[in-house]
Amino acid sequence: MIPLSAYFRLLTDYLRPLRLRVALLTVVLFSAIGLQLVNPQLIKQFIDGAIDGRGASALIPIAVAFMLIAVAQQILAIWATYLAEDVGWSATNRLRLDLTDHVVHLDMGFHKGHSSGELIERIDGDVTSLSNFFSAMMIKVVGNGALVVGILVMLWLESWIVGLAVTVFTALAIGAMSGFHRIAVPWWAAVRATAAHAFGFVGEVVEGTEDISANGAAPYMETRFNDIQKRWLPQTIRSWMGWATMWSTTIFLYGLSTSIVFVLGSWLFGIGTLTIGSVYLVFHYVEMMRHPMEQIRAQMEDLQKAGAAISRVGELMDTSTKLKAEGDESIAADALSVEFDDVRFSYDDAGEGDAAPTVLDGVSFSIAPGRVVGLLGRTGSGKSTIARLITRLYEPQGGTVRLGGIATWDAHVADFRKRVGMVTQDVQLFRASIRDNLTFFDDTVEEDRILEAIHRLELEPWLASMPDGLDTLLDSGSGGLSAGQAQLLAFTRIFLEDPGVVVLDEASSRLDPATESLIERAVDHLLEGRTGIVIAHRLGTVARADDILILDDGRVVEFGERAALAADAGSRFSQLLATGMEEVLA
Q: If you write DSSP's letter for every residue of 357-397 in order, what string do you get?
A: PEEEEEEEEEE-TT-EEEEEE-TTSSHHHHHHHHTTSS--S
CA atoms within 13 A on the CB side of 513: 0
547-552/555-561 β-pairing: antiparallel
Q: What is the pLDDT of residue 353?
A: 46
- Cα–Cα distance for residue pair 505/517, rounded to 1 Å: 17
Mean pLDDT (whole number) for 228-239 = 78
Identify the weakest region by mean pLDDT among 257-261, 464-468, 525-529, 533-537.
Answer: 257-261
Identify the weakest region by mean pLDDT among 318-332, 389-403, 414-428.
Answer: 318-332
Mean pLDDT (whole number) for 144-170 = 80
pTM (predicted TM-score): 0.63
Q: What is the pLDDT of residue 556?
A: 92
Q: Is the dihedral of CA 44, 46, 50, 52 positive or negative?
A: positive
Identify the weakest region by mean pLDDT among 44-48, 108-112, 295-299, 389-393.
Answer: 295-299
With a cut of 60, say whether residue 479 has pLDDT above it.
Answer: no
Identify the weakest region by mean pLDDT among 185-199, 447-461, 548-562.
Answer: 185-199
Q: What is the pLDDT of residue 352?
A: 45
Strand order in the sheet with 555-561: 420-423, 501-505, 531-535, 372-377, 547-552, 555-561
- Structural domain boundaries in the chain: 4-318, 372-382+419-585
Q: What is the pLDDT of residue 365?
A: 93
The structural architecture, per CATH, of the domain 372-382+419-585 is 3-Layer(aba) Sandwich (3.40)
With a cut of 80, say whether residue 484 has pLDDT above it.
Answer: no
- Cα–Cα distance for residue pair 555/87, rounded to 1 Å: 57
CA atoms within 13 A on the CB side of 185: 19
Identify the weakest region by mean pLDDT among 49-53, 88-92, 255-259.
Answer: 255-259
200 with 258: CB under 8 angstroms? no
With a cut of 90, say whether residue 464 has pLDDT above it.
Answer: no
335 with 529: CB under 8 angstroms? yes
Backbone angles phi, psi at 504, to 5 degrees: -120, 120
Residue scoring higher pLDDT (87 or 187): 87
93-132 pLDDT tens trace: 888 888 888 888 887 778 777 777 778 777 887 777 777 6
DSSP letter (8 states) at residue 246? H
With a cut of 90, say whether residue 547 has pLDDT above it.
Answer: yes
With a cut of 60, say whether residue 399 has pLDDT above it.
Answer: yes
User: Over pLDDT 90: what percentage of the chain?
Assistant: 8
Q: How far from 55 is each of 205, 275, 362, CA to CA, in Å?
A: 77, 19, 102
Cβ partners under 8 Å of residue 434, min gap 6: 463, 466, 469, 470, 471, 472, 474, 489
User: Over pLDDT 70: what percentage of the chain?
Assistant: 83
84 with 25: CB under 8 angstroms? yes
Identify the weakest region by mean pLDDT among 23-32, 99-108, 308-317.
Answer: 308-317
Confidence band of 350 (pLDDT split at 50, 70, 90): very low
- Cα–Cα distance for residue pair 214/209, rounded to 1 Å: 8
Backbone angles phi, psi at 361, to 5 degrees: -130, 95
161-212 pLDDT tens trace: 777 877 887 777 777 766 666 666 667 667 767 777 777 777 777 767 767 7
Q: What is the pLDDT of residue 238?
A: 74
Mean pLDDT of the chain: 79
On the question of a common fold for 4-318 and 372-382+419-585, the answer reads no
The structural architecture, per CATH, of the domain 4-318 is Up-down Bundle (1.20)
If you count them, how many residues does the chain have? 586
